[in-house]
Structure 1
Amino acid sequence: MEDAQSEPTAAPFPLEATPVEELISGAAQDAGGWLGALPVAQVATSADGTVVRWNRAAAELLGYGPQEVIGRHIAELLHPGADRSLGRSLWEAAVGGRGVMGTVTAWHHDGHPVELEIWASPVLDRHDDTSAILVFAAEAHATRRIRGASAVWDGLFARSPVGIGVLDTQLRFLRVNPALEQMNGLSESTHIGRRLSQLLPEVNAEEMEEAMRQVLDRGEPVLDRRRVGRTPADPEHDRVWSCSYVRVEDPGGRPIGVIASLLDITEQQRAHTEAEAGRRRLALLSEASIRVGSSLDLERTAQELADLAAPGLADAVTVDVLDSLARGDEPGMGLVGGVALRRLGKAPLTGSEVTDVLAPLGRTLDFPASAPYTQALAGRRPFLLAHLDEKAIAPAARHTNRPAQLLRLGVHSFMMAPLVARDLVLGVATFYRTRPVGPFTSDDVVLAGELTARAALSIDNARLYHREHETALTLQRSMLPQHITPPPGIEVAHRYLPASDVNEVGGDWYDVLHLPGDRAALLIGDVMGHGTRAAAVMGRLSASVRALARLDLEPVDLLYQLEAALDDLAEPMLATFLYTVIDPATGRCRMTRAGHPPPATIGSDGAVHVIELPPGAPLGVGGTRFTTVETTLEPGGVLVLYTDGLIESRGSDIDERLAELTHLLAQPHASLTGLCDDLLTHLVPGSADDDIALLVARIPEEE
């Protein structure tokens, strides 16, 4: 035998008076338990070293069958160069009652050396007090690998910050490491023999056990399955763990258990949730900047806020504005004695039991001074009931049974945010939550405040523009001629149609003046711009034309005077203008224009012509020469003057619109009034994008 790798070492094998065959069998079972899947040769010798037993693992390890070995001295199986004296001393130690361990080099049947680790112990036969030697042998490299793996596993198991548990096929704990003990707040002894669902009922244990059963059945690992809930380690707070499960198999590939590894990711999950919530808030605010307040319409803005917030922030939303504001009055500064609110926004409009029990759109709601709605408005601060229950709704329940209805429908959290802009209280938005996502939080309150602030500003802009619109429209209508009395020999009809958008009331106007010699001046103009200022400039030009016309100036001279009037303004303004002088007796027409759409005529035979008149530049540009053109309007002929709002439309070509105008003019019309109505009906079927002024005149045919 070659030099042993280590001196024979005493091993604590028990010495019992047990039959050799029984002891060998029992010892083999023990070896299987602590050596696991390692192939272990089992050999028995007599006291003098003669082999008396040779199992299959020994035959596989060294290549000798039992018939080749039994009866030979065991030392003959060692390497030919082995020191026989060492072999004798090894057996003498074993025979002397000492268990020994060591490393030797054996000789394989095929002629190559095999390094073995051996464990030998004497066995006493109770019948004749003779000793036999029981030997276990295994390939040395494999035993060192297993011993190292075992050491690594033991170190990892004991020191890893990852919770580790070993469970059997019935999902009962066999072993847990200190990290898992700390996570669960339970000792290892409490775990052993129990299932997760028995130990931790306040986590989603059944879901986790189902995942482990899948691992046992399919053999495929399950990774990053979330365990959520509370354990004795932290009974007051929910925590989140990332769990992974791997099946453990025996050498035959049969499942014998599951290894579970757990990592506490509560803080990472909280940070991720907060970051995700932050992204959602930013996305919602970004969407609000686009969707809310896209028009200067009170009802539409309120509904846009409701549609955005449900389901972005809440499951149901209502938006109520002061009833005085909804009526077009100025909002009051005080809320003494209560408040009246008009419901202008509600979402979702259909398919929600919660919104079905809430007041419908358009309803006016009266709240006393003690109601939460009034308190939220008076305090100008959000009103939050994070957890809605019978106690929380008691103050409001004195006024209405609706809170109790909402509670029965699953509303568990409630929040209100006032609509305040430019230090004016305009209304309130109310948010309801029914989904099992937790109550409204302080972050939700902040988000609701930002959304309502944006909406409130848009609502107040709508209020201001509505007021400006009404002012401009009133000014515009007051400056248009209320009663036109044309001179003898000419008939006229006219229409004025304001734009539908609140900021689009402009400076369109028309007039008919009686000139010396029973002539008539027909004029139409459009101040470029909108609102009160455009209407005021229009009034100034209208008054100037009336004064200048009495001087019987030439058309071009009158336009130069109007341009001078515009130059006197503190802020420059432009205006288009068309001035026509008609002599009803002769049909002679003298006209000039400054950047205005060309007039059209309808002959007595129904033929339509657009008069070729030099366009000129709008008044206020300066340095422009205006040209007067003469034409004749025959008896029965019609002259049509209009502003650009009649033929200009978003998304339409101006030439196509002019062609449509001439086509309509060629149709038969019952009267001049009917002609005006037909043009507006067909060319402006919906709301007008711009103001429209229309003036038509006819020289009657002689009877």
Structure 2
Amino acid sequence: MSDPAGMEGLVSSAAQAAGGWLGALPIAQVATSADGTIVRWNRAAADLLGYGPQQVMGRHIADLLHPGVDRTLGRSLWEAATNRRGVMGTVTAWHADGHPLELEIWACPVPDQYDGPSALLVFAADAHAARRIRGSSAVWDGLFTRSPVGIGVLDTELRFLQVNPALEQMNGLSQAAHIGRRLTELLPEVNAHEMEEAMRQVLETGLPILDLRRTGRTPARPDRDRVWSCSYVRVEDPGGRPIGIVATLLDITEKQHAQVEAEAGRRRLALLSEASMRIGSSLEVERTAQELADLAVGRLADAVTVDVLESLARGDDTGSGLAGGTALRRLGKAPLTGSAVIGVLAPVGRTLTFPYAAPYTQALSARRPFVVPRLDEEAIAPAGRHTSRPARLLALGVHSMMMVPLVARETVLGVAGFYRTGPCGPFAADDVTLASELAARAAVGIDNARLYHREHDTALTLQRSMLPQHISPPPGVEVAHRYLPASDVNEVGGDWYDVLRLPGGRAAFLIGDVMGHGTAAAAVMGRLSASVRALARLDLPPPELLRQLEAALDDLAEPMLATMCYVVTDPATGRCSVARAGHPPPALLAPGRAARLLDIPPDPPLGVGHPRYTTTHLTLEPGSILVLYTDGLIEARGSDIDERLAELTGTLSEEPHPTLAGLADGLLARLVPASADDDIALLIARIQPP
């Protein structure tokens, strides 16, 4: 019989002939002489069948078969031995414990060195276990070969032992190029060191790592970065010792890109939603410009400037704004500190002038964004003829910029500049779209502010022109008057006052308020004021005068309401008649007494069709002071009207009043906040015999 070394070689050949499954099972090795007598019995055979070597050595191998089985296979073995062929099959053996055991065997002849009868070498394994392993192997082979997931098997030195076709395609390298090499050697343009560190951790701890991201470029796509999801699992031998790593890879580049795009879309929507709430709510050009800069910096760009046409900043008509050149005033800039780039850009409030052909103004002239995706020496060359600022920005790390026009209602208002210095990439199409939407919102806010201020200024001019310019009261009457328009963020109303001379040395004091704001309210106020002057010359009683004003409002194309208080007094006698239509009651400050409100019936406002108005008669002591006012003096957000009226009378009682002008200024200082929500008209009269 051949030597043991030759027999060990046959073991390897047998494993290959059995499809590789023998290597995964305990294999019984039995050798017989040419007549079938057992001459070798290894430990695996003893474990499998329960017989020790001393129990089987010298016995015929057929004695181990189940008593009731067909002995045909045994005869075929000897025939194979005679013909020098191998044979495979399934037999039922008799276990030492007395139960049948199905075995898969492979028998091959061992040629005698003298060319005599052949001995047999028999390998046997549990048939059920063999079938299970063969099934698992088939599944693994199918999965390994056909799976779209990249699969690689690596040894404990992290060198590739095997890769499947999917991984070959991902890496752009054949299996032969992988075998025996490490990831860091194969793919230097991915984060291979990080991957190998993760695999070493799996080898050491036995804990798998899932969904670790591999990023970079491979020979399969050398022109584009890709992203893979990698998972690593340790492979162990039956004793639990690590023998390698199984790595699986899934290309998630498109999914990752879709997720990034979706997240970017959510951020854009959130930014636009915030812009709709923050930008342009104040009706102030400067504030709107700064709101755009503050909102965009850090979320779209690293530095932002907002410039409007100089004519618009001055409050003039915008005109074309571009003829011969462009003058822009910087009204917004962010961040205001902490950036070297901001130090190069002109400060807020500075007026910048550019020739018409300068690249900076192309966004204005073309009414579309002017984008420099990658700022370099070539890109700044055209602008270098006009200013050195682009070169200084380039030196400070600005790598991408864009100028987006501020256009609203087909009117060019200015331009917003966006600059990037950070690690983020150049401005792309999505960035330009987002910047354009932000600029459009800001432009509408700036234009609304422009139109509002123009309307406000027009209404204020009209309002002031219709108020009495010179008041000449009759003897015995001293007056002081004030008009305080609403702040710039509130529309001008229709408040007015007047003092008229009446026959017999009497005087008429009137104060009114047209409900509404803007030019329309100021125009109606002027109409009522003129009507009162004409009607007062007819010396109509207060109720009749109010009815005539009611008729004047009825003639308007659109219904309007107004409040009014009309007072007629005779300085010689102190007699006084008062009527009011929805207006706050006058205050009276008699000598030596506390101020009080006159108890006068509150008839409805003018314009509601009230047929009758009442008159209250009273006699004033010499030196009495009447205070007439509009509701802007006593109304304040968050304050009760009764509390404000009490504050008015209290202030009148406490305020020193050597002069009526001083009294008027003291009332406004005490009762009116820095920014009034509504117009205020104030008329103060002192009555004493001439």
State the TM-score bracket (shorter-chain normalisation): over 0.9
Distance 1:441 1:224 in 2: 30
Q: Is 1:474 aligned to residue 458 of structure 2? A: no
Specify which of 651, 663, 677 is matched with residue 689 of structure 1.
Answer: 677
Output the amino acid matched with 2:675: S
Q: Is the 8 A contact 1:19 1:125 kept in 2?
A: no
**Cα distance between partner residues in 2 of 1:553 and 1:85:** 143
- The equivalent residue for 2:91 is 104
Question: Are residues 1:150 and 2:104 paired?
Answer: no
Moved more, 90-99 or 675-684: 90-99
**Structure 1 347/127 Cα, relative in aligned 2: closer, same or farther at 3 Å?**
farther
Change (3 A) 1:637 1:41: farther
Residue 614 of structure 2 aligns with an amino acid whose one-letter code is T
Match for 1:184 among 157, 171, 195? 171
Which residue matches 2:687?
699
Query: Is contact 1:94–1:100 with CA below 8 Å preserved after alignment?
Result: no
| Segments of 4+ moved more than 6 angstroms | 127-130
Q: Does 1:386 align with 2:373?
A: yes
Q: Of 576, 584, 592, which residue of structure 2 is paired with 1:605?
A: 592
- Residues in 1 aligned to 2:14 and 2:62: alpha-carbon distance in whole angstroms: 26
Deviations 1:336-358 (A, max 9, x none): 33211111111222333332332
Aligned to 1:20: 4
Q: TM-score, normalised by structure 1?
A: 0.92
1:371-425 CA-to-partner distances (Å, cap 9, x unmatched) read: 2222221111110111122221222233333323322333222111111122221
Distance (Å, rounded) in 2 between the aligned partners of 1:674 and 1:57: 120
Structure-2 residue corresponding to 1:667: 654
Gaps of 5+ in 2: none
Output aligned runs, 1:206-225, within 5 Å.
Answer: 206-225=193-212
Partner of 1:242: 229
Which runs of no fewer than 5 residues in structure 1 stay unpaired? Answer: 1-16
Shift of the alpha carbon at 1:509? 0.8
The aligned amino acid for 2:410 is D
1:570-589 alignment, distance < 5 Å = 570-589=557-576
- Could you say which residue in structure 2 is the equivalent of 1:14? none
Q: CA deviation at 1:246?
A: 2.3
Q: How far is 1:276 from its partner?
A: 3.2
Q: For the structure 1 residues 54 and 598, does the alpha-carbon distance in structure 2 shift closer, same or farther, using more than 3 Å as the test?
A: farther
Match for 1:680: what amino acid? L
Q: Deviations over 1:274-329 (max 9, x none)?
A: 33333333333232222211121101111121222223322221110011110111
In the alignment, does 2:481 pair up with 1:494? yes
What amino acid is aligned across from residue 621 of structure 1 in structure 2? V
Deviations 1:68-97 (A, max 9, x none): 333332222221213345324324523653
3-state SS of paired residue (1:590): strand
RMSD (Å), alpha carbons: 2.4
Structure 1 residue 28, shift from structure 2 partner: 7.1
> Among the aligned pairs, what percent are the same residue?
76
The separation in 1 between residues aligned to 2:43 and 2:640, in whole angstroms, is 100
d(CA) in 2 for partners of 1:311, 1:213: 39
2:99 partner letter: H
Partner of 1:4: none
1:390-409 correspondence runs (5 A): 390-409=377-396
C-alpha contact 1:640 1:695 (8 A) present in aligned 2: yes
Question: Are 1:194 and 2:181 matched, yes or no?
Answer: yes
The answer on whether the counterparts of 1:501 and 1:689 sit within 8 Å (CA) in structure 2 is: no
> Alpha carbons of 1:255 and 1:672: their partners in 2 closer, same or farther (altered >3 Å)?
farther
Indicate how the Cα distance of structure 1 residues 409 and 26 shifts in structure 2: closer, same or farther if over 3 A, else same: farther
SS in 2 for 1:695: strand
2:401 aligned residue (414, 432, 456): 414
Residue number in structure 2 paired with 1:653: 640
For 2:11, give the aligned amino acid.
A
Q: Deviations over 1:407-452 (max 9, x none)?
A: 2333222111111122221100111123333221122222222221
Check the 8 A contact 2:494/2:515 in 1, yes or no. Answer: yes
Q: Which moved more, 1:27-36 or 1:595-604?
A: 27-36
- Give the CA deviation at 1:475: 1.0
Report the CA distance between 1:616 and its aligned residue: 1.1
Q: Which residue does the alignment assign to 2:68? A: 81
Question: Does structure 1 retain, via aligned residues, the 8 Å contact 2:573–2:689?
Answer: no
Report the 3-state secondary structure (helix = DSSP H, G, I; strand = E; otherwise coil) of the residue aligned with 1:98.
Answer: coil
Distance 1:675 1:55, change over 3 A: farther
Q: Structure 2: how far apart are the matches of 1:24 and 1:131?
A: 17
Superposed CA offset, 1:239-287 (max 9, x none): 3333322222222222222222222233333333333333333333232
Whole-Å Cα distance in 2 between the matches of residues 234 and 30 of structure 1? 44
Matches within 5 A, 1:614-629: 614-629=601-616
Q: For 2:672 and 2:204, locate their aligned partners in 1 and report how far apart those are by CA, in whole Å.
A: 73
Aligned CA distance change for structure 1 residues 155 and 608 (closer, same or farther; 3 Å): same
Q: Cα distance 1:46–1:401, how it changes in 2: closer, same or farther (>3 A)?
A: farther
Counterparts of residues 438-587 of structure 1 (less than 5 Å) = 438-587=425-574
| Higher mean displacement: 79-88 or 286-295 | 79-88
Residue identity matched to 1:689: D
The one-letter amino acid paired with 1:20 is: P
CA distance in 2, matches of 1:115, 1:219: 36
What is the distance in 1 between the residues matched to 2:559 and 2:590? 40
Tell me the distance in 2 between the aligned counterparts of 1:231 and 1:140: 46
1: distance between equivalents of 2:432 and 2:73?
86
| Alpha-carbon displacement from aligned partner over 1:227-249 (angstroms, at most 9, x marks no partner) | 33322222222333333222222
SS class of match (1:166): strand
**Closer, same or farther: CA 606–36 of 1 in aligned 2, 3 Å:** farther
Distance change in 2, residues 1:522/1:196 (3 Å): same
How far apart in 1 are the matches of 2:306 and 2:317? 19
CA distance in 1, matches of 2:43, 2:661: 119
Q: Compute the TM-score of the two structures, normalised by the length of structure 2.
A: 0.94
Distance 1:632 1:39, change over 3 A: farther
Moved more, 299-308 or 320-329: 299-308
The amino acid that maps onto 1:19 is D
Report the more deviating stretch, 313-322 or 202-211.
Answer: 202-211
**Equivalent residue, structure 2, for 1:163:** 150
1:10 is matched with none
Contact 2:81-2:118 within 8 A present in 1 as well: no
- Alpha-carbon distance between aligned partners in 1 of 2:547 and 2:162, rounded to the nearest angstrom: 104
**Cα distance per residue 1:79-122 (max 9 Å; x no partner):** 12133453243245236532221111111222221111112223
* CA distance in structure 2 between the aligned counterparts of 1:473 and 1:64, rounded to whole angstroms: 118
Q: Which amino acid aligns with 1:562?
A: L
> Is 1:374 the counterpart of 2:358 in the alignment?
no
Q: Secondary structure at the match of 1:311?
A: coil
- AA in 2 matched with 1:23: M
**For the structure 1 residues 413 and 286, does the alpha-carbon distance in structure 2 shift closer, same or farther, using more than 3 Å as the test?**
same
Question: CA 1:637–1:209 in 2, change beyond 3 Å: closer, same or farther?
Answer: farther
Instruction: Classify the secondary structure of the residue corresponding to 1:76.
Output: helix
Question: Residues 190 and 606 from structure 1, CA distance in 2 versus in 1: closer, same or farther, beyond 3 angstroms?
Answer: farther
Which of the residues 239, 244, 260 maps onto 1:273? Answer: 260
Is the CA contact 2:561–2:606 (under 8 Å) kept in the aligned structure 1?
A: yes
Cα distance in 2 between the residues matched to 1:461 and 1:57: 94
* Residues 547, 611 of structure 2: 8 Å contact kept: no
Which secondary structure does the structure 2 equivalent of 1:312 belong to?
coil
CA distance in 2, matches of 1:106, 1:583: 141
Alpha-carbon distance, 1:486 to partner? 2.0
Shift of 1:59: 2.5
Q: Provide the secondary structure at the position in 1 that maps to 2:539.
A: coil
1:676 matched to 2:660? no
Q: Secondary structure at the match of 1:529?
A: coil
Q: 2 CA distance for matches of 1:63 and 1:275?
A: 66
Name the amino acid aligned to 1:676: A
